[in-house]
Amino acid sequence: MSEVTDRKLRLGTRASALALWQSNWVASQLCELGYAVELVEISTQGDVKSGPIGAIGSQGVFTKEIQRALLEDEVDFAVHSLKDLPTEVIPGLCLTSVPPRESVGDVLVSNRVASFDELPERAVVGTGSMRRKAQLLNRRPDLQVEDIRGNVDTRLEKLDRGDYEAIILAESGLKRLGFLERITHVIDRTVMVPAVGQGALGIECREEDEYVREVLSNLNDTTTFLAVTAERAMLRALRAGCLAPVGAYGQLIDQTLKLHGVVLSGIGDQRVDAGEEVSLAGIPLTDQVLAAEALGQRVADDLISQGATGLIAEVRADS
């Protein structure tokens, strides 16, 4: 554990309710260890522009401005929803810590039906995610899946005024914001594979700042870190970006790291799946990280051999 000093650590965060909850949670964990933290709110491209996320411009719409602030020494570290953090390496920055993961699932929220299977034919379902849309249509091509933007509160308001039969949200976000009672149905992962990094927080800092890296290491959960390392390695190898219809779920069970990945067409009529596992028993942590990255690469290679690259290219061309 790093020696506590009088240095106040500046935490860069978006100003949305969920981002502030996540950043305040991280700050509270560090404060309990004796470190002083102040939040610095930063507006991102994803916060100020309207319309579908995929149409705003590129991946990283919720992270680029925060990463710029890190590089320019305006903040000392940042807390991201890991599913929003691109896998490309930013010179000078590092993903130094991943705390224990919250629930990874996607949930149905509805005032009219009790489960996914009860959605009536041609029901209007809202989601801002291409991954969710493609998997919904893969299972139920009759559904009318429409885009929905805004924070969790705004999306729930749109549902409550009758704009949608149901909406799809991340279980972790609803739990963190105290909306557990709004969850109608947790969608089975055979129906909807989560986003890469879903339910996990990613804590990023400058690579050269050894003091901050050591402080943040206190919050890292090795089990979660290895699982998301495999997921992010798969996504990186696919060259898909975090906006593509790609899902992945890694689990470390009894020293065996398992990874399942999926890639779909934009309208969900085509889907390819792949799964691999690797034993991490008896090897040091640095080699476990390398094994997790190799696992992600193998799953990506399997998906590519089944045509994943073409599906991703079609989605890019249509967006």
Catalytic residues: 84
For residues 223 and 226, give the distance between their C-alpha atoms in angstroms, rounded to a whole number. Answer: 5
311-to-9, 206, 232, 270 alpha-carbon distances in Å: 43, 35, 19, 8
Write out the E strands in 75-184.
77-81, 93-97, 106-109, 124-126, 144-146, 166-170
Backbone angles phi, psi at 149, to 5 degrees: -120, 170
**Cβ pair 16, 26 in contact under 8 A:** no
Amino acid letter, residue 310? G
CB atoms under 10 Å from CB of 188, counted, come to 10
Give 256-296 as a 3 state SS string.
EEEEEEEEECCCCCCEEEEEEEEECCCCCHHHHHHHHHHHH
**Cβ pair 264, 311 in contact under 8 A:** yes
For residues 45 and 42, give the distance between their C-alpha atoms in angstroms, rounded to a whole number. Answer: 10
Report helix angle 308-318 to 222-238, nearest 10. 80
**What is the DSSP code (8-state) at residue 112?**
S
User: In a 10 Å sphere around its CB, with 0-12 CB exposed, 13-18 middle and 19+ buried, how is residue 117 labelled?
Assistant: exposed
Backbone angles phi, psi at 294, to 5 degrees: -65, -35
